[in-house]
Chains A and B, each alone.
Chain A
Amino acid sequence: MSNRTIWRLIEDDIREPAMHFAMEEALLRLTDEAYIGPTLRIRRVNPSVWIGYYQTPSEDVDVDYCIEHNLKIVRRLNSGGAVYQDKGTFCYSAFFQKNDFFSNHNIQQPEELYQLFGAVIIDMCKELNIEATLSPVNDIIVNGRKIYGSAQLDWYSAFAHSGSIMVNVNRDTMQLALRPSNLKFADKGFKNVKDRVVNLAELTPTPIDVKQVINLFVKSFEQKLNAQLEPSAFTSQEWELAKQLYEEKYSRPEWTFARSKTAKSMVSAKIPSGVLTLKFELQNNRFQAAALHGDFLLANHREAERFLSNCINKTPGQVLEELNNANLPQGLKNGLANLIKQIESNGAC
């Protein structure tokens, strides 16, 4: 027991989704600034839709349905696809100092965490006599259907790995609220989002509730990550920063709904973690604007933003050279290279 890492365990009662994300960012910032140690946060929120950092509500969500049914739409700080959450789901986020955690668990690349945290979920499922497997990049599936998805955020010296587990979510509402491309499921053999996912409660012979699954998750987390979880509560510093981020960012419609109008052309590519769209404007064969959009996974936004701002006033050929040196995941680099080559070969048309 002595070599176990001590983690704070916080199961809070923040139910409002925008405040929930404000607290997530507060914990990440304070982890980076070394005010707090490793923290595992578990929470459930009011029915709502969360879009990925690079997504557009009107494209990925049925906004009218959400408004009509009082489902708040909030943009997350991490990337990935849109998700629907209600009281039949729960989420966790593990916040830690990247160097310490990576060295303790022999992690070389952030992507390896999908496997490590995925193993926590797989073991948790074993306790329920459910055989689950990792479906790369970031999902856990049972008989081909998704029960869990995850995403990451690389924030200076801190890191957050988050996941969402479906215990008894309303799949009908999920189907109506989300608008992912049907072809995203077709290549996996499913007609729509409702068929693509399954609840843990539908897989067990006896009824289970979210609280039971949370308890199993906590136990599995402790075992798999050699952690000692100590129940805790948010500090006043965390509350203060979260309230500030809520007021200045997450509660504001522009955080979720603002759209860039500067890019006038778009091309897209399928990469291992999702669909990547490059929105751009080219004048005299030089980029005047460039932005990423999509449900792909990317832990470090800063690197992507640095790369995109370096594209401005450069030709597609020059951008391809820059891409070689960019510190981005290989899958994303390959996808971007294909798109830039497509732009290069088509010139201004």
Chain B
Amino acid sequence: MEPVRLEVLVASPPTKKCNAIISMFEKFLTEFPGQLKLDIYYAGEPMTVTPTEGFRKETGKVRKIPSAYVNGKNVASKEVPEEEKVRKLIIEELSNINQ
């Protein structure tokens, strides 16, 4: 099964907001073991993975830091997203994969 992709674009070194997003997304990994993959992109550092199409489109012209994505769908820009909102989207994406 393809994992749901979580992506976070953060400052280098990360700010308090960046760390809050990273922590939240790391927690989702433990909630949904074996179903997610999390990639953290540090602004200004080379990317070592291929980002999702959605991430590339969103960050093509203006990079909003921090920002966060679930399967390429933006869930936060310049702010820490609501945990429940992200969780709902993850569950939605997981059920799409299982259909």
Q: Does A34 contact B (CB under 8 A)?
A: no
- Are B30 and A349 in touch, CB under 8 angstroms? no
Q: Which of A188-196, A277-285, A325-333 contacts B (4 or more CB under 8 A)?
A: A277-285
Interface residues in A, total, Cβ within 8 A:
31
Interface membership of A312, Cβ < 8 A: no
A264 at the interface (CB under 8 A from B): yes
Verify A56–B36 contact, CB threshold 8 A: no
Binds B, one of A93-101, A161-169, A266-274: A266-274
A contact residues around B95 at 8 Å (CB): none
Min Cβ gap B95→A in Å is: 16
Number of interface residues of B (CB under 8 A): 28
Do B27 and A267 touch across chains, with their CB atoms under 8 A apart? no
Tell me which residues across on chain A come within 8 A of B33, comparing CB atoms: 268-270, 275-276
A237 contacts the other chain (CB 8 A): no
Q: Are A264's CB and B48's CB within 8 A?
A: yes
Q: Is the CB of B29 within 8 A of A268?
A: yes
Main secondary structure, interface of B, reads mixed
Does B49 touch A at the CB level, under 8 Å?
yes
B19 smallest CB distance to A (angstroms): 7
Q: Are B19 and A58 in contact (CB under 8 A)?
A: yes
Q: How far is the CA of A275 from the CA of B34 in the complex (A)?
A: 10
> Using Cβ atoms and an 8 Å threshold, which residues of chain B touch A269?
33-34
Closest to B35 in A: A268
Kindly state whether residue A173 has any CB partner on chain B within 8 Å. Answer: no
| Contacting pair A282 B36 (CB below 8 A) | no
Q: Does A181 contact B (CB under 8 A)?
A: yes
In the complex, which residues of chain B have a beta carbon less than 8 angstroms from the beta carbon of A43? none
Chain A residues, CB < 8 A from B51 = 349
Interface residue? A182 (CB, 8 A) = yes
- For the complex of A and B, the 10 pairs showing the least CB-CB separation, nearest first, are A270-B33, A349-B50, A268-B29, A58-B23, A266-B38, A181-B31, A275-B30, A268-B33, A183-B31, A181-B30
Given A266-B26, A348-B50, 15 new contacts (CB under 8 A): A59-B27, A179-B27, A264-B40, A264-B41, A264-B42, A264-B49, A265-B37, A265-B49, A268-B29, A277-B29, A281-B48, A283-B48, A342-B3, A348-B49, A349-B50
